[in-house]
Structures are given as structure tokens and as C-alpha cells.
């Protein structure tokens, strides 16, 4: 099995725990505060991982890459802020399903922005993801 598949499966496993722990933790907590606390915990953990792996030379990142990584970080922060707001007030299965339409949107954007291959099978898969999300969320 290719390494990226193992990483993707591990990402899916840990991502599946986020809404469960989040919903339980948000019971009496403001979602903005919860998102901020989560971000600090993530930052401390990831800085520790970077230190342990020896990947700490931020100065080696060129300005274009740093800008794009910054934009990615801001997009991620906004995503998680709205995600926690949604799971605090909504039904977790519906929120998860709607959130996962991001997969279909990312497939489309990767085609437009990155020039990734788009064929009928990929387009149909993305459409089925959106239809599945609609079925779960309604």
C-alpha cells in the first residue's frame, strides 16, 4: 500500500473523532472559545512534532509558499470555527455530511486551480458525494 493512503486513512480515522469529542465538549462552551482552545492545543502539539522531527527552519520557506500556507491556515481556522458553531447547534450527522461536500468542492477546485485531471468517473463521484450529503442531512 502506498504511504499516502495510510496517511489518508489515519487522517480519516482521527477526523472522525473530531465531531464526537467536539459535540461532547461543546455542551456548555462557546464554540469560538472552543475553537481557539483547540487551535492552541494543535499548535503546541504540532510545534512539538516539528521540533522532534528537526523541521524547524521556517526561514527556508520562500515568501510565496509562506503566503499560501498562511492562506491555508486562515481557511482552516474559518472552517473549524464554522464547523464547531454548526455541531454545537445542529445534528452531528447532518453537519458532518454537509461539511464533507468540501471533498467535492476541492475536487472541482483542484481541476480549475491546479489543473488536476477531471474525467466522467471523477465528476460522477463528486456529484454522488454531494447527493449522499443531501440524503444524510435532510
The pLDDT tens digits of the residues spanning 3-31 come to 889 998 899 899 999 999 999 999 899 99
Q: What is this structure's pTM?
A: 0.81
Is 32 within the bounds of a domain?
yes
Is 94 within the bounds of a domain?
no
Same domain as 79, residue 42: yes
Same domain as 135, residue 104: yes
Same domain as 71, residue 24: yes
Domain count of the chain?
A: 2
Mean pLDDT of the chain: 91
pLDDT at residue 67, rounded to an integer = 93
Same domain as 54, residue 8: yes
Same domain as 115, residue 79: no
Give 112's pLDDT tier (boundaries 50, 70, 90): very high
Is 76 within the bounds of a domain?
yes
Which residue blocks in the chain are alpha helix, DSSP H? Answer: 3-25, 31-53, 63-89, 92-99, 101-113, 120-137
% the chain with pLDDT above 70: 99
pLDDT tens-digit profile of 35-46? 999 999 999 999
pLDDT at residue 1, rounded to an integer = 64
Same domain as 117, residue 85: no
pLDDT at residue 56, rounded to an integer = 77
Same domain as 116, residue 83: no
Query: What range defines the domain where residue 77 resides?
Result: 3-89
Measure the CA–CA gap between 72 and 112, rounded to whole angstroms: 17
Q: Are 102 and 67 in contact (CB under 8 A)?
A: no
Amino acid at each position: 500500500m502506498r504511504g499516502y493512503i495510510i496517511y489518508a486513512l489515519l487522517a480519516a480515522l482521527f477526523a472522525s473523532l473530531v465531531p464526537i469529542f467536539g459535540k461532547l465538549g461543546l455542551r456548555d462552551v462557546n464554540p469560538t472559545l472552543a475553537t481557539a482552545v483547540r487551535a492552541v492545543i494543535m499548535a503546541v502539539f504540532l510545534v512539538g512534532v516539528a521540533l522532534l522531527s528537526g523541521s524547524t527552519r521556517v526561514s527556508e520557506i520562500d515568501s510565496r509558499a509562506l503566503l499560501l500556507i498562511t492562506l491555508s491556515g486562515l481557511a482552516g481556522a474559518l472552517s473549524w470555527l464554522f464547523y464547531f458553531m454548526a455541531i454545537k447547534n445542529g445534528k452531528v450527522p447532518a453537519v458532518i455530511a454537509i461539511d464533507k461536500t468540501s471533498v467535492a468542492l476541492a475536487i472541482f477546485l483542484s481541476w480549475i486551480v491546479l489543473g488536476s485531471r477531471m474525467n466522467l468517473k471523477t465528476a460522477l463521484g463528486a456529484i454522488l458525494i454531494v447527493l449522499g450529503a443531501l440524503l444524510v442531512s435532510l
